[in-house]
Chain A
Amino acid sequence: MADDLISFEGVGFAYGATPVLTDLDVRVPADGITAVAGPSGSGKSTLLRLANRLLLPDRGTVRHRGIDVATIPPPTLRRRLGMVFQRPSPFPGSVRDNLAVAAPDLTDDQARRLMARVGLAADLLDREASDLSGGQLQRMCLARALATEPESLLLDEPSTALDPAARHGIEQLARSLAEAGTPLVWVTHDLEQLRRVADHVVLLMNGRARMSGSVADLDAAARSDPKIAAFLAETPPEAREDADER
């Protein structure tokens, strides 16, 4: 459907002889935050990489706003769908140099605005990117992705490598971006995080979408689907710590 941000129709993908996605049918709505969850190896990251054509599907069609992504030049597609990876990868040089890779004509004013958008102090612009803390680096990567002025963002476990405070910061940032009209697709293995951030949920299992809908739909599905219930019961360590404190 043209209203969907991204849709997968009968998509299959394998790494060599290892099938990852077998027959994926999923529609990602064009608003709010869509969390993609599932056990490790269920194809969450693969789904994002198929969306921006860092990978090509073996079968099926991936659409962006109703248009087959195979017909869109990859650089154009990728400027529309910004991506932030799990491990921040700073390019050599300063923070400003990093932003300039995404937008070579970036003015100082624009650079400062980007920094403000991701909650980084503007005086970090001339700092070596590799000197930043993990949380700052991930925010810089987010600013770098935003520098191409994408209409939506793909986030591949962007806060997994961060401490709880930095993780919280990224979640707030994502929320404010979504509220300002940038839809986000957020891959996470952290169910507590999913409950905090998600407007929509896609649950992947065994190379297919086991369910998709709202968080309430996920809980409802767990009552009738023991596999989903079992997945939800695997409480992540962070949640356990929180429970102990209570």
Chain B
Amino acid sequence: MTDADPTPAPFPPQLRERLPRLDPVALESFFDAYFDRVYGYVRRLVNDEQLAEDLTQDVFLHIQLAFSTYDPERELRPWVFTIATNRVRDHWRSHRHREGRKDVSVERDAALLGLSAGEHRPDSDLAENELSAILRDAVDELPEGMRMAVLLRVYEGLSFEAIGEVLGRSEVAVRKRYSRALEALRAALGPAWRVHTEGGS
């Protein structure tokens, strides 16, 4: 789920074939390959640790049940993230998630930044941190569909076609949605991004 690896390695096909048989080795490898990515995706969408744990557990339980109908010829990533996306959407349909979102967002920001009051940082680090904070907030403020498209594209490296499969949209619609999302992010970053790009080029 980290920065340096936007396109995680594909799950080995020979293990993929063993998943419908619920082969323990394949299941272990699957879990190790997908847990952080699914948890990170879900957590970023719901912005709450406890809720993310509940939903992640629900996703893996659903996956476990659905393996018997999984076609090993089919690519695993869109299949997994379709299930995760549907579980999160299920949750969003309930009213609970609207409550307290702001509080958990603040909590999450503090956790992500790892900053405490009065901590001294050099100016360049501070600017970079500010840009990161603005960017994180901007991603979190995107409409749900755009946010999903950005997370799946940037962190999972899914093709637009695969994202379309996950979100139930056409490839063209996803491309448009993704472009609009980047445009919105650039607008939100404003001069800070301009300074960042000019400074780096």
Question: Do A and B interact with each other, yes or no?
Answer: no
